[in-house]
Structure 1
């Protein structure tokens, strides 16, 4: 093996290195106590909806920050760095309180770090839910065939409470019942 073989850096190594450097710089400039040695970093190659996540391991008092490679590929660095700061707030909450969410405490700390509360989607949804009421413009996006996608007749619009339809984004086929979902899936076959 020649020098450097077997030790080549991957895109995941780059993501983690940049995230760690950014975290160190952010925390050095902020009144924000978080022990970076209590953080683990990893990259998800499968994530399609969440640009980042933070998992708490209470038994080890360690937080794992998970960053999505697809988000890194699609966002510019300033936007991706915002995701790193967002996950740092979660890590801080876990370390300090044993729990984390997006409530007032999170929002206050996120504002201090200029971290977004939510990130924009970096993948196209497979399904779009759309209210059927004429005076409501509610929509929601889904990336997997969850119960509200498979059985929309059992759920209601998140805004006005009316019925909604589901659209298979790639084909444009729509349905409002579980049986229509089955029919659309069967009709699309391999294109599903």
Structure 2
């Protein structure tokens, strides 16, 4: 695949096959698709409207009209993942879609973990990009945080202390 349109078409078609093969209870006609070239930490995401008082485990009545959600695919993740890893990522996102359509919200809790295991999907998808900034404890060297962009923590790292040793943070810029 060489274009965003091809990635969306292939991924949506795969999700249709996976929904049938793994028994996902999803209405894919209520899913929109997009590609992100900006994301650095997430391989994909389900963007959804906030539903008041929604709780995973409490089914919602949508009165016949499930809200639309959007599956956002990250181009850089697609390029760095094997086909097997990419399809597992898509199944991970299908678990989110299934939870949202059933409960009005989604999370990575126990229900998610059980469902992800049943469909051979990871609970956490691996990082595909290196952080631009790595902060570590100056006493024990433990990595405390990774940041992909300049932020308050990066700019003022010397004013923060590690949670492991309460020591100052060292900044390693990898840009």
Give TM class, smaller chain.
Answer: 0.7 to 0.9
Partner of 1:115: 121
> How big is the shift at 1:160?
4.8
Residue by residue over 1:67-87, the C-alpha shift from the partner in whole angstroms, topping out at 9 and shown as x without a partner, is 011111111111111211111
Structure showing greater radius of gyration is: 1
Whole-angstrom distance in 1 between the partners of 2:164 and 2:15 = 38
Q: How does 1:159-178 map to 2 (within 5 A)?
A: 159-170=164-175
Instruction: Tell me the SS of whatever aligns to 2:48.
Output: strand
Task: Return the alpha-carbon distance in structure 1 between the equivalents of residues 161 and 94 of structure 2.
Answer: 35
Tell me how far apart the structure 2 counterparts of residues 56 and 130 of structure 1 sit (CA, whole Å): 35
Sort the Cα spacing of 1:161 and 1:76 in 2 relative to 1 into closer, same or farther, 3 A.
same
Unpaired stretches in structure 2, ≥5 consecutive residues? 52-65
- Alignment-derived partner of residue 147 in structure 1: 152
Q: Of 18, 29, 39, which aligns to 2:21?
A: 29
C-alpha distance in 2 between matches for 1:55 and 1:159: 34
Distance 1:161 1:73, change over 3 A: same
Q: CA deviation at 1:147?
A: 2.1
- Distance apart, 1:33 and its partner CA: 0.6
Matched, 1:92 2:98: yes
Greater per-residue helix proportion:
1
Number of residue pairs the alignment of both structures matches: 161
Q: Which sections of structure 1, spanning at least 5 residues, go unmatched?
A: 1-8, 171-192
Whole-angstrom CA distance in 2 between matches of 1:106 and 1:36: 19
Alignment partner of 1:88: what SS? helix
Residue pair 1:90, 1:101 contacting (<8 A) in 2 also: yes
2:67 matches 1:61: yes
Deviations 1:62-106 (A, max 9, x none): 110000111111111111112111111111111111111211121
Root-mean-square deviation over aligned CA pairs? 2.2
TM-score, with length taken from structure 1? 0.75
Q: TM-score, normalised by structure 2?
A: 0.81
